[in-house]
Amino acid sequence: MVLSVEFKDEQEKIEVRAAMLSIVRKAIFNTLAYEGFEKEVEVSVTFTDNEQIRELNNQYRNKDCATDVLSFPMFDNFSEMDMLPEPVLLGDIVISLERAMIQGHHLYHSIYHEVAFLAVHSTLHLLGYDHETSKEDEEVMFAKQKEIMEIIGF
């Protein structure tokens, strides 16, 4: 698999260092590999703050609150991907670094750990997993997240 990640930093509260970009790329790559994804793929990752992610959450999900991560998959039907030329544009991930820092603090781990988790979580959403559809779907997705986080060293 070949992975291309386009990063955008649209916030000014937390410095985005090369280590964070590397961890996000590793989290996405390992999630795709875990799922057996073999195509050349492109993913967009935007770092934002609570105010901006709240606006996006309100606009796209009708939820007027800040959240930690939003996923914007390019596909509803994942069998379509087999017919597409490569690279496959998988979708967009938006991470609130402000929220990630707070959540990491409350969970007693680093922002890097939290951002890796959010990247894994969001990549699974891009691949069609949804923990909000049923208890069974939640259990499957959360088990995968746990295994992938162990694979990448968290």
**CB 142, CB 125: distance < 8 Å:** no
| pLDDT at residue number 110 | 93
Which pLDDT score, from 0 to 100, does residue 78 have?
66
Asked whether the predicted pLDDT for residue 80 surpasses 70, the reply is no
Q: How far apart are CA 92 and CA 123, in angstroms?
A: 9
pLDDT band at 48 (very low <50, low <70, confident <90, very high): very high
pTM of the model: 0.93
Give the SS3 label for residue 154.
coil
The domains of the chain, with CATH numbers, are 3-151 (3.40.390.30)
pLDDT band at 84 (very low <50, low <70, confident <90, very high): confident
Region 127-139: mean pLDDT is 87
Residue that wins the pLDDT comparison between 21 and 76: 21
Residues in contact with 2: Cβ distance below 8 Å, sequence separation at least 6, in sequence order:
40, 41, 87
User: What is the phi/psi pair of residue 5, to 5°?
Assistant: -120, 125
Q: Average pLDDT for residues 131-147, to the nearest whole number? A: 91
